Structure formats: C-alpha cells, structure tokens
Amino acid sequence: MKNNQTACIQSILTQLLSREKLSANALANALHLPTPTIHRLLTGDVQDPRISTLLLIANYFAISIDELIGRKPLNEPEFSHLLAKRPAFSIPLLTLHEASQYKSHIKKTAGWFCWQSQKQSLQHTQAKSIFSAVVKNTLYEPIFSVGAVIVVNPELKPETGDYLLLQFHGDTIAVIRKYISEGKNKYLYHVNNEKRSIKLNTKESKIIGVIIEMYSNFKN
C-alpha cells in the first residue's frame, strides 16, 4: 500500500476514534485484535495492513474500506449518528472481590458505571445480569491496566480466545484468564504469560462470565 494511503488510514482512524470517544485499546478489544495492530495503524508504522484487518475496522464503524483508506470521503451525516444509536446503561460497578459473588452484590451495590456498548449488536445490552468491575492491581498488565473497567456478561458462552472472569474454589477474589478451547479440552492461560496454563476443571473453578469490553483509565 502506498505511503499516502497509509497516512490516510492514520488520519481517518484517528478521527473515527475521537468522534466515537474510543481508545485504541477499546477498539482492539472490540475487534479481538492485538492492541499493537491498532497502534501501528495510528502511528503509520505499518505500510501494508491486511485487508482482513481493514475490513473489521470498516465494518465496526459502518463505513467502506474505500472511506477508511481515503479513496472516498466519509459519509459524515450517517457517521455522526452512530454513537447516538447505541443506548447507554447504568450497570453495577464491583470490585474483583465482590465479583466473585456478583449475584448478591449487584443487588446492593452503591457503585454504577455508565456503559455505552462499543458493539453495534444489542446482544450484550439485553443481558440482565451484566455488570462491570475495576482492576486494581498490576497482575493483568499490559492488557488490563490498573484502573481499567471490565464489562462482564455472565450469560455468554465462552469462545476460544475470550477473556474470562472466574473464581477458583477456596478463593474470595475473581481472577482474569484467557480461555482456549482445543476440541474437548479447555484451557485457562495467564493473561501476561501464555506459557502458563491449566486445564479447565469445573470442580476447581467456576466461570463467572465473559469479559466483553474494557475501558482504560489513563489517569489513576
């Protein structure tokens, strides 16, 4: 791809993120892409981005690839209403300790998080038990930084590559693990060390829910 098109992608993607009030991390999580992939597009460090990556981004913002790479102007009137079409909800905001017993805590929590789904589908917004939780330690960096708010859907069936909130029996705090399915075998990987894994055993742990979105707090 030519350098001028790379510059166009850099500029247009920056505009899209700014107008949607999204961070690069949030977009990467929503698209299940590595965060560095989005950062490289924003800095112009990639000269030949994959069409599959561009298609994911274009579909997310409901624009064409030609608009994303600057061959056609953005459809401004249509784009300006994208965020408004996504309803906002107040969902319970818990600690990871409270999340381990979320069913009782979501009924009496004093904390709330104003959540406007980054996804265009209403699948998650219709879940009645959805809640959010704050990450307050460095165990899950760099993916989940200190102060990040995760949105958890307990009603969603996990798919390979998802990040899960779960509780090991005997523990009083929920933890984050990456879920990998290999046929009949299911594995839990540490977030910041994919070489460390254990086989999922429902007698030793229970899945609380699937992490569907994450919001970074850049000022702690």
Peptide bond into 49 cis (omega under 30): no
CB 110 within 8 A of CB 162: no
pLDDT digits (tens, 9 = 90+) for 93-128: 999 999 999 999 888 877 788 776 666 454 555 567
Exposure on the CB side of residue 161, measured as CA atoms within 13 A: 6
The number of angstroms, rounded, from the C-alpha of 14 to the middle of its chain's C-alpha atoms is 18
pLDDT at 124: 57
Structure-token pair, residue 84 = 């408004």
**Residues in the chain with pLDDT values less than 70:** 1-5, 74-89, 116-127, 194, 217-220
The confidence score (pLDDT) of residue 151 equals 92
pLDDT at 44: 80
What domains can be seen in the chain, in order of their start residue?
3-83 (1.10.260.40), 86-215 (2.10.109.10)
pLDDT, position 61: 85
